[in-house]
Amino acid sequence: MSRSKRVKSPAELSSASSIVIEAVSPSVDAGRYPAKRTAGRPCEVEATAFRDGHSVLRAVALSRAPGKTAWRETPMELVNPGLDLWRGAFPLDEPGRHLYAVEAWTDRYASWLADLKKRVEGGQPDVRSEALEGISILREALSRARGADKTVEAAVRALDAARSPAEALAAASVGGAPEVMRGLDSRTDAARTPKFEVVADRPLARFGAWYEFFPRSQTSDPRRSGTFRDAEARLPDIARMGFDVVYLPPIHPVGRTARKGRNNSLECGPDDPGSPWAIGNEHGGHTAVEPSLGALEDFDRFVSAARKLSLEVALDFAVQCSPDHPWVKEHPEWFLHRPDGTIKYAENPPKKYQDIYPLDFSTAAREGLWREMLQVMRFWIGHGVKIFRVDNPHTKPLAFWRWLITEVQSRDPEVVFLAEAFTRPPVMHALAKAGFTQSYTYFTWRNTKRELTEYLQELADGPGRDYFRPNFFANTPDILSPILQTGGPPAFRMRLILAATLSPSYGVYSGFELCENAALPGREEYLDSEKYQIKPRDWDKPGNIKGLVAAVNRIRRENPALQELSNVRFLPADNENILFFSKSAPDRSNVLLVAVNLDPLRPQACTVTVPPDALGRPGWREFRVKDLLDGQVYRWGERNYVRLDPAVRPAHILRVEDA
């Protein structure tokens, strides 16, 4: 380690500005990581900027769009003088990595003028000396004045001619001189912050409804794999439910060695298709498709059929191999070998994945491995895939993800990465900081009012709000949560509404709409899990909740308030089983009040309170709300009675119609 920096001498400090700029927002870990925002919206910037004494400052946000070299300047405004708080905004017209900084300097003319004004208003009888100072500031600016020199010269003459303090004060503002001088300041004492990064993602990164399904299960015969063609036929049904993204588990050739049988058995029957996460066999690896699903052309056709229905296809990016993957032979240096020469299969002792070899991302040969990963991504991007759900990213080095995501997005900034990590909070956050666009969450394990409130407040207002975008999956092939196992269809309705209204991004794994809830005893795993077998279904089975799914997704699209995360506000409801919250568009043009019965088994009732400031419109006593689920209209006031019977109505999603 080097020694501590020597203290600079006053001469060395000669270029040090007297101006301090601090608390710049958005910034993540003091600028170490980029903040996330949505392309097409301006990025609001705040900073604290001040200096010694009483001078007038100016501040601007400097910003640079991705791939550009030119910096653009937008003015900031002193919105809270008592806290030296400045605010501005710069445009994020296109997706990608934008840079910004804040610059502030002393407006010498405005400072002089403010001082002169106080003197004149304080009754100082003679300001001739002050006028000379003003003239000197004006003259110094003349060299930079170009088209504005007439104004500057007029102010000089007027100040020179002023015969009284009042005349001098008037002269100083002749022809809008202060505004002109604002643009002419030499900024000799300007301070500038380091550069901060903002990743602008396309709107889908913030707001979207995901539907996960296994193409091979789109069949009526559990021994015959469904194909991309079959999956294509399923798309209209998914589109009718109002989803934005269809996410497919790995579609690559499935390994044969140690292939898993039903329910994760080590015994594999002749018809068992194996886990799609055991990637690779003699037909290829991560850039091939499993032959029983069809050919690559069939996949392309599936992608374009989806696009026609306004659905986007997301692929699973699971960087691991079956022992039969071509890389095992071609690139043994990418795998972890034990002293006896064997390759370790994947495991998290005592859990074992005998059908999977992990890749060693820290190997000395990682240059080739990392580049191959990039090529795999670009291959699928070339086939129209712009969304990747990344399997278990927390078991690979953060430096790898930072590199990969930056590389991919530098060419294709619209690519979205969803981190499937269920691990400790610091690791979840580190992945989001490393670049993941969205993250899986603990939502499936947050059930009580207190758990949901605390978790949402942490997501909405905690340090992650600038970089951690939650995607609330209500279930996954790995997680059938206890409340769904025990709560029956009412629990599915309740959890759907919670996920879809609390988080702008949410998802379900297929079967959710059929309220499938058969679990392995004492586990959160599905019985007869689709991970290990083909599972034909009647998608229109009685008791399905597709109508509710469609309604909720329609409500999400029609109400901007549901397209944001940090606008949630929990409101009083005097029953621990009723969660009550508001969501409002920033301009309050769209205000929703949502009440959800968290108890799937019993009706619950209570009084909910709408505080006077919750609607953003002053002076109301009563207002009209419309339940967007059933169209009913109510007159509400500050305190309202709510009764929710899970068998009939799991929730109110009320839109404030007038107040």
Contact with a second copy (CB under 8 A) among 144, 223, 308, 424: 424
Contact with a second copy (CB under 8 A) among 39, 65, 92, 101: 101
Catalytic annotation, pick one of 312, 316, 420, 564: 420
Comparing C-alpha atoms, which of 64, 110, 108 is closest to residue 90?
A: 64
Contact with a second copy (CB under 8 A) among 73, 136, 411, 518: 136
Place of tokens 């029956």: 488
Which region among 16-24, 140-148, 283-291, 523-531 touches a second copy (by CB under 8 A)?
16-24
Q: Does 7 bind a second copy (CB under 8 A)?
A: yes
Contact with a second copy (CB under 8 A) among 233, 427, 520, 527: 427
For residue 356, the number of C-alpha atoms closer than 13 Å in the C-beta half-sphere is: 20
Contact with a second copy (CB under 8 A) among 36, 37, 58, 97: 97
Contact with a second copy (CB under 8 A) among 425, 547, 611, 637: 425
Single-letter amino acid, residue 87 = R
Classify 421 as helix, strand or coil: coil
Q: Output 23 or 647, the one with its CB closest to a second copy.
A: 23
User: Does 391 qualify as catalytic in the annotation?
Assistant: yes
Q: Does 119 bind a second copy (CB under 8 A)?
A: yes
Q: Does 125 bind a second copy (CB under 8 A)?
A: no
**Omega within 30 of 0 (cis) for the link into 26:** yes
Contact with a second copy (CB under 8 A) among 59, 61, 76, 84: 84
Residues 6+ apart with CB under 8 A from 609: 571, 572, 573, 638, 639, 640
Q: Does 399 bind a second copy (CB under 8 A)?
A: yes
Least Cβ distance, residue 49 to a second copy (angstroms): 9
Contact with a second copy (CB under 8 A) among 78, 233, 398, 601: 398
Count of beta carbons in the 10 Å neighbourhood of residue 209: 22
Q: Output 442 or 570, the one with its CB closest to a second copy.
A: 442
Q: Output 97 or 234, the one with its CB closest to a second copy.
A: 97
Site for a second copy in 170-199 (CB under 8 A): 189, 195, 197
Q: Does 142 bind a second copy (CB under 8 A)?
A: no
Count of beta carbons in the 10 Å neighbourhood of residue 85: 17
CA distances (Å), 53 to each of 109, 118, 186, in order? 15, 15, 20
Backbone φ/ψ region at 397: left (φ over 0), alpha (ψ -120 to 50), beta: beta
Contact with a second copy (CB under 8 A) among 25, 87, 94, 133: 133
Site for a second copy in 50-79 (CB under 8 A): 50-54, 62, 64, 69, 71
Which region among 120-128, 153-161, 200-208, 274-282 touches a second copy (by CB under 8 A)?
120-128
Let me know: does 638 contact 612? Beta carbons within 8 Å. yes
Contact with a second copy (CB under 8 A) among 111, 395, 457, 609: 395
Backbone φ/ψ region at 226: left (φ over 0), alpha (ψ -120 to 50), beta: beta
Which region among 15-23, 411-419, 610-618, 625-633 touches a second copy (by CB under 8 A)?
15-23
CA distance 18 to 104: 10
Q: Output 7 or 641, the one with its CB closest to a second copy.
A: 7
By CB atoms closer than 10 A (0-12, 13-18, 19+), residue 508 is buried
Sign of CA dihedral 344, 350, 353, 354: positive
What value does the CA radius of gyration of the chain take, rounded to a whole number of Å? 31
Q: Output 260 or 396, the one with its CB closest to a second copy.
A: 396
Least Cβ distance, residue 235 to a second copy (angstroms): 36
CA distance 535 to 222: 6
CA distance 401 to 545: 38
Question: Count residues contacting a second copy (CB under 8 A)?
Answer: 81
Instruction: Supply the DSSP string of 201-255, one letter for each residue.
Output: EPGGGTSEEEEE--GGGSSS-TTS---HHHHHHHHHHHHHTT-SEEEE---SPBP
Q: Output 199 or 235, the one with its CB closest to a second copy.
A: 199
User: In this structure, what token pair is assigned to residue 658?
Assistant: 């007038």
Q: Does 543 bind a second copy (CB under 8 A)?
A: no
Q: Output 309 or 398, the one with its CB closest to a second copy.
A: 398
Contact with a second copy (CB under 8 A) among 18, 265, 304, 486: 18
User: In this structure, what token pair is assigned to residue 499?
Assistant: 């996920």
Classify 266 as helix, strand or coil: coil
Site for a second copy in 583-622 (CB under 8 A): none
Q: Does 22 bind a second copy (CB under 8 A)?
A: yes
Contact with a second copy (CB under 8 A) among 263, 264, 354, 406: 406
Q: Output 118 or 523, the one with its CB closest to a second copy.
A: 118
Which region among 156-164, 393-401, 562-570, 611-619 touches a second copy (by CB under 8 A)?
393-401
Least Cβ distance, residue 405 to a second copy (angstroms): 10
Q: Does 375 bind a second copy (CB under 8 A)?
A: no
CA distance 369 to 380: 17
Q: Does 522 bind a second copy (CB under 8 A)?
A: no
Q: Mark 291-320 with x for binding to a second copy (rule: CB under 8 A) and - for no binding.
A: ------------------------------
Q: Output 103 or 599, the one with its CB closest to a second copy.
A: 103
User: How far from the centroid of its chain's Cα atoms is residue 497's Cα?
Assistant: 20
Catalytic annotation, pick one of 185, 244, 360, 391: 391
Least Cβ distance, residue 71 to a second copy (angstroms): 6
Q: Output 1 or 538, the one with its CB closest to a second copy.
A: 1
Instruction: Supply the DSSP string of 46-104, one letter for each residue.
Output: EEEEE-STTPPEEEEEEEE-TT----EEEE-EEEEGGGTEEEEEE---SSEEEEEEEEE
Least Cβ distance, residue 467 to a second copy (angstroms): 13
Contact with a second copy (CB under 8 A) among 388, 403, 440, 509: 403
Contact with a second copy (CB under 8 A) among 45, 135, 359, 593: 135
Contact with a second copy (CB under 8 A) among 4, 125, 221, 270: 4
Site for a second copy in 315-374 (CB under 8 A): 338-340, 342, 348-350, 362, 364, 366-367, 369-371
Least Cβ distance, residue 146 to a second copy (angstroms): 24
Let me know: does 101 contact 73? Beta carbons within 8 Å. no
Contact with a second copy (CB under 8 A) among 397, 488, 536, 616: 397
CA distance 577 to 367: 54
Helix 108-121 to helix 128-142 angle (10° resolution) is 160
Place of tokens 């500005």: 17
CA distance 386 to 66: 19
User: Does 230 qualify as catalytic in the annotation?
Assistant: no
User: In this structure, what token pair is assigned to residue 578?
Assistant: 């009723």
Active site residues per annotation? 391, 420
